[in-house]
Amino acid sequence: MNKNGVTLWFTGLSGAGKTTISHVVAEVLKSQNRNVEVLDGDIVRLNLTKGLGFSKEDRDENIRRIGFVAQLLTRNGVIVVVSAISPYREIREEVRGKIGNFVEVFVNAPLEVCEDRDVKGLYAKARSGEIKQFTGISDPYEPPVNPEVECRTDLETLEESVAKVMNKLEVLGYLS
C-alpha cells in the first residue's frame, strides 16, 4: 500500500465548514509540494454526477463515484481532499473499505449554527418546502461513529481545525 496517497474525506451538514477547511488543508499540502487533488461535492455534481437526484439511491451513487475517483488517485500517491455532505454512514464505510488509506474528518456544527451560516439560502428553502430531501431538515444525516478527526467549527477557529487535520496526517504517517 502506498503510504503517500490518502483520501481525506470531509463530511458534515451543509454550512458546517467542510469546503472552507478542506480548501485550506489542500493549500497547505500544496505549499509543501504534495500532489493534491480536491473533489468538492458541489463541483463533482456539476461534472461527474450530473443527472443524479437526492434520493438515498442517488446520493449513494454520487458518493460511490466520488469514492471511485478518490481510490484511483489515492493508489497513485495523490492526497485526495473530498468535501461532500455524504449523509449516510454505510456508504462512507463502503468507500473507506475500497480506498484503504482513508481519513474521515467529521466537520461538526449544530444544525442551528449551519442554518445561521446558510450562505446559499438552502435551509430557508428546505424549511419552506421549496427544497425536498434536504439533509438535516427532511433527510437524515448520520454522523460518523469514530472519525479520525472531528472539527467543531462552532467552538474552534479555522486554524485550529486545519491544525487538527494536519496533525492527524502526521501521526498516521502520511506526511513524512
pLDDT tens figures, 162-176: 999 999 999 999 987
The sign one gets for the Cα dihedral 153, 157, 158, 163 is negative
Is pLDDT above 80 for 53? no
- Report whether 20 contacts 94 (CB < 8 A): no
Q: Strands, DSSP E only, in the chain?
A: 6-11, 36-40, 79-83, 102-108, 149-152
Instruction: Select which of 83, 86, 128, 161 is catalytic.
Output: 86
Nearest to 22 by CA among 3, 42, 2, 5: 42
Edge-to-edge strand ranges of the sheet holding 79-83: 36-40, 79-83, 6-11, 102-108, 149-152
pLDDT, position 2: 42
- Report whether 85 contacts 19 (CB < 8 A): no
pLDDT in tens, 82-125: 999 999 999 999 999 999 999 999 999 999 999 999 888 889 88
- Please tell us whether the domain made up of 6-171 is placed in CATH 3.30.1390.10: no
Q: What residue type is 78 in one-letter code? A: V
Q: In terms of pLDDT, which residue wins out, 37 or 44?
A: 37
CA atoms within 13 A of residue 95's CA, in its CB half-sphere: 32
Residue 31 is among the residues annotated as catalytic for this protein? no
Alpha-carbon distance 56 to 85, whole Å?
13
- Partners of 139 in the β-ladder: 135
pLDDT, position 3: 56
pLDDT, position 154: 96
- Partners of 39 in the β-ladder: 82
pLDDT, position 1: 40
Residue spans of the domains in the chain: they are 6-171
The whole-model pTM stands at 0.92
pLDDT, position 11: 97
